Structure 1
């Protein structure tokens, strides 16, 4: 191969301006040009409206999938502060943003109503007081609509994740909210054990779902420390018995672990793993304190939980 064919210098660099850069590589901004990317576009637009509600400037968010393939996101806040144009009498205030996906980029991909509902349901669970409605008008003869609001917050989220298993739970849901200046943020945690063997633990950072991170590790640390300490105090573990491992303790556990931080630090560009080191100790200590107190205050149910863990450990 000749030197001329392999030469590369500043003259080969192409500078893209404004929206041209976004259209050239849309996956860099919304993850993909598939249905997943379409959903992300809705979430990015809806985040502004959601923040209006969380900041106390609005009461609700309404998202509509329109018959012409567009999306309309509206809130009842004070409105975006842009140059005013007289358009007639108004009956209220708010902001409405509408957009239509470009078929040249997304092809025939369509919004998944169920996928949007799942994410908006998470937001409503994680943010008490937030009300979101989603309406699908794309097929007039088969339109549908849901309104999502959960005053119980993370506690309601745990009940939802449990589904039909909730009736066989050996304990009430432990739920608490705690602000810790060491991590410059607030944690919301809810959990309980059920008789089914599956583990359902969901973690979030600033309302975004995470696959792992220091908040999730801290939760596991706190659970393990509280259970082991109680079991040894009550003689349910002898001096020669090994400590329970985290897998045994989490069998049958349903939990939601959510933190909101002023300065979140994520590992990787997908923001799926929280990296703030101080969060681990903060969450771990809070979970250990709350679970330890519950175990001591309700010895009958505590014994049922510990016995279940002991039996699981013996089977192994």
Structure 2
């Protein structure tokens, strides 16, 4: 006897899943249903991404040579408007859809001027993708096109074309005031592209104004004026001759326009060469070099045929490569990459090709000059990090229909671009190193010395990190012999005092708690690393010892987690020389161990300046009071006098740490229960970099001007003499 298996009965709501449960999202419904797939998020970043899509469409006109002015206006009612003097969106009827070009661009996904290959050889925005997505996510969008001597207009509500019945303006017969809450009437039978006026013949352009949909975007989402200005400045570098005007009429508190409409204009005719000069902050090692070239490649792409069918077709593409780069004395790398005018912060095939070509070309140049550079056969080859240390570069590639990884366009995926960029950069860099020009030869030689020094510094830093582990009593240690280490292995509690001079070291050894306080003496003033090269810094015994003892490496290889001490404390005399030593030490940490400063783990000890012996009343012992400034001393004496207490007239003025005995040093400067420490922090790294370069750098003239200007405000009584 057999039985036929029965299909289990699905309970209501428990899995009765059939074709009728499938949702088919057509047109712009998909965008509104899943906005994150198209703009990344629905917060301020997504809001700005929509704006970039509209601006990029105008910039594409500039890239094609048809636009010279772009205005972006942040209106007080929350809308944003983008105007350009490009050719204007086509207003004639597109034959396959029967719709005007304006409606096609703003309502049809994946339809526009960049897909056919005839209108744009290189573009950033994609008309019909960006514009239609912005339209779908807008409570209202108005577009005006000047073309053929007429102004054409069309309005949309959440992607649907129609008309708004806007209320009239304040004055009788005044212009209507556009609002997304105005009564909307959708088109039913056919859409209408209205003619609203006339313009002089030959004048063309597009104006797009839209109000983002509050049901899509988060309530706190807002347009960032600073981000908009940064992007406008960046675009003006990438498209020489293009003028971008940014105007903020919102009057928001904390913005430049809080007291009234604020406007900024950007135009840079020097292109990406000016961009590199703008980005670079450190003193130059080389001039800003320009590397340019192009290449061709073939790829198979789907294209529409005459009948509107999608067919695969092999097309030949042209890829233009343009690079501006320079090296400076620093070790930070600033690389900005772009495809057309689209920023690719996460890189892609063009960045991979650039870095590979640069590494190969520099390795070859070092091998060709090995004898002059004293590079041995057994030395480690330079790495990408060595080559790019101190480099500021802007890399742009221009090609039609670039393939990106995702709609947010952060990574270029077109594989053929890597080979083209590699060939162009290799060829151009080789030409630079082969140049007979005296200035270029001197710069390339200096660059090679810098790269080799970076490589050796990396190796040395790694060796220093390998010695970071504290040795037991039965093991040998490669740490400096003059280091008086602590016993604790708890990094959070341990402290490293960098002490000025051997005389202070002797007292400090008796004053410290050897359980968690380590001492490292330095002899005299260390090297000013703001002026010296990295090789000179590593050759300096004091600098090398400090880096080795901290144990986390230096420069770009610095690893904060590997640091051997929770606090590093500068302990120098309370005089001018002591202040200079603290400044030199701080310069070393800022230049080569900056994460320690940024993490708030660098301190300056505050030793007292005076000791007042207060006479005890009766049989009470005399009391010692310490003061840390002249003003504090005078106020202390006044307070003692007012309370009727006396003090010995021979008030001790400390000239150095060595004048204190161990109990005094411990009680005033080293004991955590009684001491005062000043934490060194960085509120603005860029501003700090400028200050260090001004006060400690090679350029004397700005420093002299700074001293002269500040001389009138100097309090002569504060000079320790």
Indicate the residue corresponding to 1:104 in structure 2: 215
The Cα shift of 1:76 comes to 1.6
Indicate the residue corresponding to 1:153 in structure 2: 271
The Cα shift of 1:251 comes to 0.6
- Matches of 1:302 and 1:69 in 2, distance apart? 52
Cα distance change on mapping 1:205 and 1:81 into 2, 3 Å: closer
Between 218-227 and 262-271, report the one with greater CA deviation. Answer: 262-271
1:9 paired to 2:120: no
Between 54-63 and 34-43, report the one with greater CA deviation. Answer: 54-63
Indicate the residue corresponding to 1:179 in structure 2: 294
Verify the 8 A CA contact 1:296 1:302 in the aligned structure 2: no
Between 85-94 and 153-162, report the one with greater CA deviation. Answer: 85-94
Note the residue ranges of structure 1 that are not aligned, 5 or more in a row.
Answer: none
Q: Which ranges of 4 or more aligned residues in structure 1 deviate by more than 4 Å?
A: 83-86
User: Bigger relative contact order, structure 1 or 2, given CA contacts below 8 A and separation 6+?
Assistant: 1
Indicate the residue corresponding to 2:416 in structure 1: 278
Verify the 8 A CA contact 1:174 1:291 in the aligned structure 2: no
The Cα shift of 1:191 comes to 0.7
- Matches of 1:58 and 1:197 in 2, distance apart? 39
- Matches of 1:128 and 1:197 in 2, distance apart? 29
1:307 paired to 2:464: no
Between 259-268 and 305-314, report the one with greater CA deviation. Answer: 259-268
Q: Secondary structure at the match of 1:223?
A: helix
Between 306-315 and 245-254, report the one with greater CA deviation. Answer: 306-315
- Matches of 2:408 and 2:245 in 1, distance apart? 27
Verify the 8 A CA contact 1:189 1:258 in the aligned structure 2: yes
Verify the 8 A CA contact 1:184 1:263 in the aligned structure 2: no
Cα distance change on mapping 1:262 and 1:79 into 2, 3 Å: closer
- Matches of 1:34 and 1:302 in 2, distance apart? 47
The Cα shift of 1:55 comes to 1.9
- Matches of 2:453 and 2:272 in 1, distance apart? 29
The Cα shift of 1:288 comes to 1.8
Q: Secondary structure at the match of 2:216?
A: helix
Q: How does 1:197-208 map to 2 (within 5 A)?
A: 197-208=331-342
The Cα shift of 1:269 comes to 5.0
Indicate the residue corresponding to 2:284 in structure 1: 169
Verify the 8 A CA contact 1:132 1:148 in the aligned structure 2: yes
1:227 paired to 2:362: yes
Q: How does 1:48-67 map to 2 (within 5 A)?
A: 48-67=57-76
Alpha-carbon displacement from aligned partner over 1:185-218 (angstroms, at most 9, x marks no partner): 1111111110111111111223222212221111
Give the structure-2-normalised TM-score.
Answer: 0.41
CA RMSD of aligned residues (A): 2.2
Indicate the residue corresponding to 1:243 in structure 2: 381
- Matches of 1:281 and 1:25 in 2, distance apart? 36
The Cα shift of 1:19 comes to 4.0
- Matches of 2:405 and 2:83 in 1, distance apart? 33
Verify the 8 A CA contact 1:205 1:258 in the aligned structure 2: yes
The Cα shift of 1:170 comes to 1.0
